[in-house]
Structure 1
Amino acid sequence: MDPRLLKYAELNVPRYTSYPTAPHFNESVDGVVFARWLSELTPSTSISLYVHVPYCQRMCWYCGCHAFAVRRDEPVAQYVEALGCEIDAVADASGGTRVRELHWGGGTPNSLSPERFQAIVERLHHRFDMSALERHAIELDPRLLTEEQAQTFARCGVNRASLGVQDLDAGVQAAIGREQPFERVRDAADRLRDVGIAALSFDLMYGLPHQTHESVRKTAELAASLRPDRFSVFGYAHVPWFKNRQRLIDAEALPGAEARLSLADTIGETLRAAGYVPIGYDHYALAGDPIARAARTGQLQRNFQGFVEADCDALIGLGPSSISTLPQGYAQNEPSVGDWRAKVNAGVFATRRGKALNTEDRRRRDLIMRLLCDFELEIADPRGFEREFAALVPLVEDGLVRVNGGRISVPAESRPFARVVAQVFDTYHQQGNARHSRAV
């Protein structure tokens, strides 16, 4: 690697699924504020609902999500009951209920029984207008997917599924606490397609312990042989200060910055050779997929689901730790399941913190969005951005970015470092000391 780039690969920078990013949320946004924001939505507002299922049957050591292992039925039953109350409260408070997208994440959404999953869907259909629903997506653990679950998902209108593949090397799987043979992934994909859920996405990871170029190449080749529509390729974020379970991973076995970038390149080369086109800086898709069309036409968006082909006017998060993105700002629920459930059952919104957006926040959010989605942007009036253009000078000298007047572009060879360029426009990052994952 060019030594000029290596220093950037070692930087810690936000993923920018929001701006400002979550570490800069504060408690000035509470349940009262969130209720007011909901009431200000209109009947024409297009809504994306996100349901966070916080439970897994067993925890993977690499996981940085708000999720917990559970083996008893009682906590799950209590969660489902509280979720129903939250659905009712949101629907009652919201000035708009027209849902265009529904996403399930976690945790492990298919840790729910088919009966409980269907009951939640029926509650949503009862309280929201689902007549315009276009995308109904769910994240799945292929190890748990049963025939009954697949049939239930199809019956409930699920039309897109994301499978957590991560890595298919047995040695790497043992080092991250997730044993998952290729055959299990293949069977899950076949099961979903057999019931009519044909739009599939796979998650892959690099930067895991004991990964080699040969192992990640084989993983990518095996995964691509199943022909999912999309891939999301994430760098493992080792943040044991944030998630204690990551202390089970041998930090000495983790690749360094240069090796991480090389592993990511190997995965990308393998997927491109298999017919997938790069989307943003960490997604890949078949050329006919909607996300690929959005990238070609300049309509690609980025939110908490990553790079997406369209964005609704409002995203409403349900469940513990979920984040809502409303026109007025961000609102995040209590991360603790117990605290979330206690507030919901008491008849109040479980909003813990958030961030009201001002005009400057929105302007910078748009700049960062376009830079990460299109790898270029035009600042017609540079007044007020003198600091940013000065900060870009060393990045230009190192080849990360090109600047021509007010036009800023990231060349193809530097796109893995796009977040480093985006960070220049992040005034909150300059002011704070939040800890983030590596740039690559």
Structure 2
Amino acid sequence: MQTALLNKYCDARLPWYTVYPTVPDFSTTIGAETCETWLRRLPPDEPVSLYLHVPFCQSICWYCGFPTSVIRGQRPIRNYLAALREEIRLVADQLPRALPVRDVHFGGGTPASIAPVDFLALMELLRRYFAFSKSAAVAIEIDPRAFTTEMADALGAAGVNRASIGVQSFDPVVQKAVNRLQSEAQAASAVESLRQHGISRINFDLLFGLPHQTVQSCVDSARTAVAMRPDRLAVFGYAHVPSYMKRQRQIDEAALPDNIARAEQAAAVADTLISAGYHQIGLDHFALPDDELVLAQKAGRLRRNSLGYSADTCKTVIGFGPSAIGRLRDGYVQNEVVTASYNQHIRAGRLAMSKGYCLTEEDRLRAAIIERLMCDLQADVPALCAAHGFDPIAFLESADRLEMLTEDGIVEIQDGFIRVKQEHRFVIRAVAAAFDAHLDRTPY
């Protein structure tokens, strides 16, 4: 891709569009009472997904953009779990019945830092308040540096069937620069232990754009990962926002690759994974041919949510824990980000929502277009407008950046059908941003 186009469209301010409208547009006028009303309106027979956030780690990785803190021992986790269990009960009290569950994800932080016996008890509580389908997907994020056989036993017994392993990079120079030292042997040991306990669906997370990373080191990490044959890999670009995440101030900015180098790294990793038999999914995911993501992509039902790309088609996501985002029929809700504030609300017997967003019909249309662009690199805007009751001509004319994207050869538009050229997939966020009515329109 031309240097000028990369510098023009690779804007760090652009959202990743895991939700739309994005979190900065959420309002504090949406709180616990509104959320309770929205929960009571949920259809009693429609499947939902659950997300549980565990905001603790044994050490802090400087690149991390998620709210998490260091813990020593199990006491802080057990205190937090007491609040989490109470939140589950408070939410269940608002629901019309024990809703069917099709997808569960434990994120963080390091959710596998929960003691095995406590994790089993938490899963038992969830099954008491929700009706799990036999085929429910239950996933957990894992730090291989602290993963034990005892935890693998508990995950297998609890019905966990997918694990996402944080790798980021196997290059020790890069690892030292971001305070995450871990060996290839630790990752391989975690994979082997999971598979021995029946958890055969494995994801790896890799990062590019980290300090001291090169194209070769990115390719070497990808090849090392491929040798362990995970079902999926997520290859994210590091977002350096030290003004927002203070821990990132520990990273040497002078060692960060520029936009051109980042694009070269992303392309090299993609080529490596595709050559190894993985299918590229949207912007940054890769999966083996028989994986649910590939099947969902072929069927046109790939989704985009707060975890990235997903085959989960549930319209509702109920979030638990500090900072967790829920997607209900009426809109989005987010819990208090700070764990102490979250605990305070729950102990007072009220839900911990701090802000949210009530969706309009126009928001739903824009979200649908953005999701299809992010998932399929194309969108049938007239068909989506018709489905939501909008005039496609007026709507397309309002997306003023489309003309610039077309002139620069990023997209092709025919009768309102937008297609992003494959060689420009790494700037897909700039295309999606053309339909973001809330985005800061300051020139690039």
TM-score (norm 2): 0.95
What residue in structure 2 maps to residue 436 of structure 1? none
The question of whether the paired residues in 2 share the 8 Å contact of 1:217 and 1:267 is answered with yes
Shift of 1:72: 4.2
Match of 1:173, SS state, is helix
Point out the more displaced range, 72-81 or 214-223: 72-81
Counterpart Cα distance in 2 of 1:375 and 1:212: 27
The question of whether the paired residues in 2 share the 8 Å contact of 1:98 and 1:132 is answered with no
Pairing of 1:208-357 with structure 2 (within 5 A) = 208-357=210-359
Counterpart Cα distance in 2 of 1:248 and 1:5: 30
Asked if 1:400 corresponds to 2:402, the answer is no
Pairing of 1:43-122 with structure 2 (within 5 A) = 43-96=44-97, 97-122=99-124
Asked if 1:5 corresponds to 2:5, the answer is yes
Match of 1:208, SS state, is coil
Shift of 1:432: 9.1
The structure 2 residue matched to 1:425, chosen from 418, 426, 435, is 435
The question of whether the paired residues in 2 share the 8 Å contact of 1:388 and 1:424 is answered with no
Counterpart Cα distance in 1 of 2:117 and 2:353: 28
Match of 2:392, SS state, is coil
Structure 2 unaligned spans of 5+: 383-390
The structure 1 residue matched to 2:190, chosen from 182, 185, 188, is 188
Deviation string, structure 1 residues 234-266 (Cα, Å, up to 9, x no partner): 000111111111111101100000000001111
Deviation string, structure 1 residues 402-434 (Cα, Å, up to 9, x no partner): 11121111011011111100000000114699x
Counterpart Cα distance in 1 of 2:36 and 2:135: 24
Deviation string, structure 1 residues 56-93 (Cα, Å, up to 9, x no partner): 01111111001111114332121010011001011111
Shift of 1:387: 4.1
What amino acid sits opposite 2:4 in the alignment? Answer: R
Deviation string, structure 1 residues 124-170 (Cα, Å, up to 9, x no partner): 11111124552000010011110000010000000000000100001
Counterpart Cα distance in 2 of 1:343 and 1:386: 44
Counting aligned pairs with the same residue, the percent is: 42
What residue in structure 1 maps to residue 200 of structure 2? 198
What amino acid sits opposite 1:293 in the alignment? Answer: L
What amino acid sits opposite 2:343 in the alignment? Answer: R
Asked if 1:34 corresponds to 2:40, the answer is no
What amino acid sits opposite 1:235 in the alignment? Answer: G
Match of 2:105, SS state, is strand
Shift of 1:211: 0.6
The question of whether the paired residues in 1 share the 8 Å contact of 2:331 and 2:357 is answered with yes
Counterpart Cα distance in 1 of 2:299 and 2:3: 35
| RMSD value, Cα | 1.5
Match of 2:394, SS state, is coil
What residue in structure 2 maps to residue 179 of structure 1? 181
How many residues of Structure 1 are paired with residues of Structure 2 in the alignment?
Answer: 434
The structure 1 residue matched to 2:394, chosen from 384, 394, 407, is 384
What amino acid sits opposite 2:59 in the alignment? Answer: R
The question of whether the paired residues in 2 share the 8 Å contact of 1:212 and 1:263 is answered with yes
The question of whether the paired residues in 1 share the 8 Å contact of 2:325 and 2:334 is answered with yes
What amino acid sits opposite 2:173 in the alignment? Answer: G
The question of whether the paired residues in 2 share the 8 Å contact of 1:66 and 1:107 is answered with yes
The question of whether the paired residues in 2 share the 8 Å contact of 1:137 and 1:161 is answered with yes
Superposed structure 1 runs of 4+ greater than 3 Å apart: 386-390, 430-433
Match of 1:367, SS state, is helix
TM-score (norm 1): 0.96
What residue in structure 1 maps to residue 385 of structure 2? none
Counterpart Cα distance in 1 of 2:219 and 2:320: 37
The question of whether the paired residues in 2 share the 8 Å contact of 1:53 and 1:107 is answered with yes
Match of 1:349, SS state, is coil
What amino acid sits opposite 1:254 in the alignment? Answer: L
The question of whether the paired residues in 1 share the 8 Å contact of 2:21 and 2:363 is answered with yes
What amino acid sits opposite 1:230 in the alignment? Answer: R
Counterpart Cα distance in 1 of 2:70 and 2:319: 21
Counterpart Cα distance in 2 of 1:384 and 1:342: 48
Counterpart Cα distance in 1 of 2:238 and 2:317: 26
Counterpart Cα distance in 1 of 2:175 and 2:323: 27
